[in-house]
C-alpha cells in the first residue's frame, strides 16, 4: 500500500493512502480529508472518507468539480490531480461521509505541489508508453555460468539523435536495474525516450514538453500501426534543483474499447525502426508544421471509437489533407491573361461605379479554380501508389468508381439532403469497413514515405502476414 509513485512505472494497479486538500488549504491541515488514490488502466480514482471543506455547500444532485487537488501520501510524496470531478457521494446518519472523485491527470513530486504545468521549467524529460518493452526486442540477458545476467551491451544503453535547427535532442534509453528479494535476484527493464533542449540558456515549460511528447507519441503510433498510451512523463533537474516530477495518465482511454497492454504485430518492427531512427525524427521535425496535423487527424480517428461511416469520412479527409499539403501545386500564372483580366476589372470598376451588378461581375472574373475536386484528389492518390497497393482495386475504372462513392458518402454526411441525390454512397457495413482498411493502408504508405522510410520496406511491412493489413493481401 505504501509505495511511491516516483519509484514506480505503474505497470500494475496501485493504491496509496494520503491526506487530500485544495490549493487554498495548503497552510491549514485541519481541513484536509483522509482518503485513498487508486491508479489503474481504467483511470485515477480518489476515495475520500470525508469531503473537502468548501465555502459553498453541496447541492443535492450537483457534484463538485475542482481544477486542482493536492495529496500528501503516507510516504511523504506530493501528488497533484487535475480536472477533478466528483463521481458519487454518500452521507450516513452517523455523520460518516464517502466521496469519490475521478481525475484524468496526476503529477507526483518529491518537493512541492504542482498547480500549473506552465510554471515549471526544465531542460530534460523522459517518457515511455505502455508496451514499449514488448516492442523493443533486445537481447537483454546472457548466460554467465549457471546464471542469467543482464547483457552488458544493452545495460544503461543510450542512442542519441540531435534534431538539427530545432534545439531538440532525442535519446532512446535502456536501463536494467537489479532487484534483490532474497534468495533471488530479479532485473527490472526500463525502455524510455528522453527529450532534451540543446540550448544552454533556455529551458522549456512542462506544457511545451508535453506538447512535443504527444506529437512524438502520435508519430510512433503511425510507425507501430497502433496507438499506445503514454505511461508517464518524468522531469528531473539534477544540476540546479533536486526536483523530480512524474506525470501520469496523459491520455484518457475509453473503457471496453481495446486492451492497450501489449503491442501485437507492429507495422514497422523495432529493427527497421532503429535503423531509421535518425532519419525518422529529423524528417518529422523538418516538416513538423506540415505533417503533424495530418498525423494527428489520422491517429485520432484510429484511437477514438466512432461509427464506421464517420470513420470513412475522417480517413478520406486525412487523404485530402495529404494531397493539399504534398501533392497539389498551384498552376503557373499566365502573365498576359492576368494583365488583360486586370484591365477588364479596372473598366468594370470605372464604368459600373453605381451599378449593383458591379460586385457580381468582378467576383465572376476573379474566380479561379484553385484545386482539383475532392474525387479527383482521392483518385490521384489511389492511382499513384505502387502496383502492390494499386492491385487492391481491379483497375483504373474501379478506382474512379470508388473515388466517386467516397465523395458521395462524404457529401451526404457533410451536407445532408435527399438520399436519392447520392445513389452511389457507401451503405453496407462490410463495404464500409473494407474501404476504410484499404484507405488506411494507403495513408500509412504515403505518410511513412514522407518520414524517410524506403518504399520497398513500407510495402513489405504493409503486406506482412502477421501485420495489421493481413485481410487485404491473404
Q: Look up residue 340 and give its three cell numbers.
A: 488583360
In a domain, 254, yes or no: yes
In a domain, 246, yes or no: yes
pLDDT tens readout for residues 115-157: 887 777 887 888 887 777 777 765 444 444 444 454 554 444 5
| pLDDT value at residue 127 | 83
Same-domain status, 397 and 269? no
In a domain, 362, yes or no: yes
Same-domain status, 172 and 52? no
In three-state form (DSSP H/G/I as H, E/B as E, the rest C), the secondary structure along 115-127 is CCCCCCEECEEEE
| DSSP letters for 277-324 | HHHHHHHHHHTHHHHHHHHHHHHHHHHS---HHHHHHHHHHHHHHHII
In a domain, 278, yes or no: yes
Boundary-marking domain end, from 109, 137, 161: 109
In a domain, 290, yes or no: no
Q: Are strands 65-73 and 78-91 parallel, antiparallel or unpaired?
A: antiparallel
Q: Which residue has the cell 496507438?
A: 227
Boundary-marking domain end, from 253, 285, 317: 285
* Cα–Cα distances in angstroms (integers) from residue 130 to residues 218, 229, 254, 263, 355, in the given order: 14, 6, 15, 9, 68
In a domain, 386, yes or no: yes
Q: Look up residue 145 and give its three cell numbers.
A: 555460468
Same-domain status, 453 and 320? yes
Same-domain status, 351 and 399? no
Same-domain status, 148 and 78? no
Q: How far apart are CA 276 and CA 449, in angstroms?
A: 12
Structural domain span for residue 355: 335-366
**CB count, 10 Å around CB of 281?**
21
Q: How far apart are CA 217 and CA 231, in angstroms?
A: 11
Rounded mean pLDDT for each run of 10 residues along the chain, 474 residues in total: 49 79 82 87 82 57 81 87 83 69 83 78 80 66 48 51 68 63 56 75 78 87 83 68 65 39 68 82 90 93 81 95 90 75 81 75 67 91 95 92 96 89 93 95 96 94 89 88
User: In CATH, what number is assigned to the domain containing residue 83?
Assistant: 2.40.10
In a domain, 295, yes or no: no
Q: Look up residue 15 and give its three cell numbers.
A: 493504491
Same-domain status, 161 and 235? yes
Boundary-marking domain end, from 109, 130, 161: 109
| pLDDT value at residue 345 | 81
| pLDDT value at residue 453 | 93
The dihedral built from the CA positions of residue 256, 262, 268 and 274, taken in this order, carries a sign that is positive
| pLDDT value at residue 258 | 39
In a domain, 293, yes or no: no
Same-domain status, 148 and 69? no
Same-domain status, 9 and 137? no
Same-domain status, 73 and 194? no
User: SS3 of 99, please?
Assistant: strand
Omega of the bond prior to 106 within 30 degrees of 0, cis?
no
Same-domain status, 341 and 276? no
| pLDDT value at residue 448 | 95
Same-domain status, 175 and 40? no
Helix ranges (DSSP H) in 325-373: 335-351, 358-366
Same-domain status, 73 and 20? yes
Number of separate domains in the chain: 4
| pLDDT value at residue 188 | 59
Amino acid at each position: 500500500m505504501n509505495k511511491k509513485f516516483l519509484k514506480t512505472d505503474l505497470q500494475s494497479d496501485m493504491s496509496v493512502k494520503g491526506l487530500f486538500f485544495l490549493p487554498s488549504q495548503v497552510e491549514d491541515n485541519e481541513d484536509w480529508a483522509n482518503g485513498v488514490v487508486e491508479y489503474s488502466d481504467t483511470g485515477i480514482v480518489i476515495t475520500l472518507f470525508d469531503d473537502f471543506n468548501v465555502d459553498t455547500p453541496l447541492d443535492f444532485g450537483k457534484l463538485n468539480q475542482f481544477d486542482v487537488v493536492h495529496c500528501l501520501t503516507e510516504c511523504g510524496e506530493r501528488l497533484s490531480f487535475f480536472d477533478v470531478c466528483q463521481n458519487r457521494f454518500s452521507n450516513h446518519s452517523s455523520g460518516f461521509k464517502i466521496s469519490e472523485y475521478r481525475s484524468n491527470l496526476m503529477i507526483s513530486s518529491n518537493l512541492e505541489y504542482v498547480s500549473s504545468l506552465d510554471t515549471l521549467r526544465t531542460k530534460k524529460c523522459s517518457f515511455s508508453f505502455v508496451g514499449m518493452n514488448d516492442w523493443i526486442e533486445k537481447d537483454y540477458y546472457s548466460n554467465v555460468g549457471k546464471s542469467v545476467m543482464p547483457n552488458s551491451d544493452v545495460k544503461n544503453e543510450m542512442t542519441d539523435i540531435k534534431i538539427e535547427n530545432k534545439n531538440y535532442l532525442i535519446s532512446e534509453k535502456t536501463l536494467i536495474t537489479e532487484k534483490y528479494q532474497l534468495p533471488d535476484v530479479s532485473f527490472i527493464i526500463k525502455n524510455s525516450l528522453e527529450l532534451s533542449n540543446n540550448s544552454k540558456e533556455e529551458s522549456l515549460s512542462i506544457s511545451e514538453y508535453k506538447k512535443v511528447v504527444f506529437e512524438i507519441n502520435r508519430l510512433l503510433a503511425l510507425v507501430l500501426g497502433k496507438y499506445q498510451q503514454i505511461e508517464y512523463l518524468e522531469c528531473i533537474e539534477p544540476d540546479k534543483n533536486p526536483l523530480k516530477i512524474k506525470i501520469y495518465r496523459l491520455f484518457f482511454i475509453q473503457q471496453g474499447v481495446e486492451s492497450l497492454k501489449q503491442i501485437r504485430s507492429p507495422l514497422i518492427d523495432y529493427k527497421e525502426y532503429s535503423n531509421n531512427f535518425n532519419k525518422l525524427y529529423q524528417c518529422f521535425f523538418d516538416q513538423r508544421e506540415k505533417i503533424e496535423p495530418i498525423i494527428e487527424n489520422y491517429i485520432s480517428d484510429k484511437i477514438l471509437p466512432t461509427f464506421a461511416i464517420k470513420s470513412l469520412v475522417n480517413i478520406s479527409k486525412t487523404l485530402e489533407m495529404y494531397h493539399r499539403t504534398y501533392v497539389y501545386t498551384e498552376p503557373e500564372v499566365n502573365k498576359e491573361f492576368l494583365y488583360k483580366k486586370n484591365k477588364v476589372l479596372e473598366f468594370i470598376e470605372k464604368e459600373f461605379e453605381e451599378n449593383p451588378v458591379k460586385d457580381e461581375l468582378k467576383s465572376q472574373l476573379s474566380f479561379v479554380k484553385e484545386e482539383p475536386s475532392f474525387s479527383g484528389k482521392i483518385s490521384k492518390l489511389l492511382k499513384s501508389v505502387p502496383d502492390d497497393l494499386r492491385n487492391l482495386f481491379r483497375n483504373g475504372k474501379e478506382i474512379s468508381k470508388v473515388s466517386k462513392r467516397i465523395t458521395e458518402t462524404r457529401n451526404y454526411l457533410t451536407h445532408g439532403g435527399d438520399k436519392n441525390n447520392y445513389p452511389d454512397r457507401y451503405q453496407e457495413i462490410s463495404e464500409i469497413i473494407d474501404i476504410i482498411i484499404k484507405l488506411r493502408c494507403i495513408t500509412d504508405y504515403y505518410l511513412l514515405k514522407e518520414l524517410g522510410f524506403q518504399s520497398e520496406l513500407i510495402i513489405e511491412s504493409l503486406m506482412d502476414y502477421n501485420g495489421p493489413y493481413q485481410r487485404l493481401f491473404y
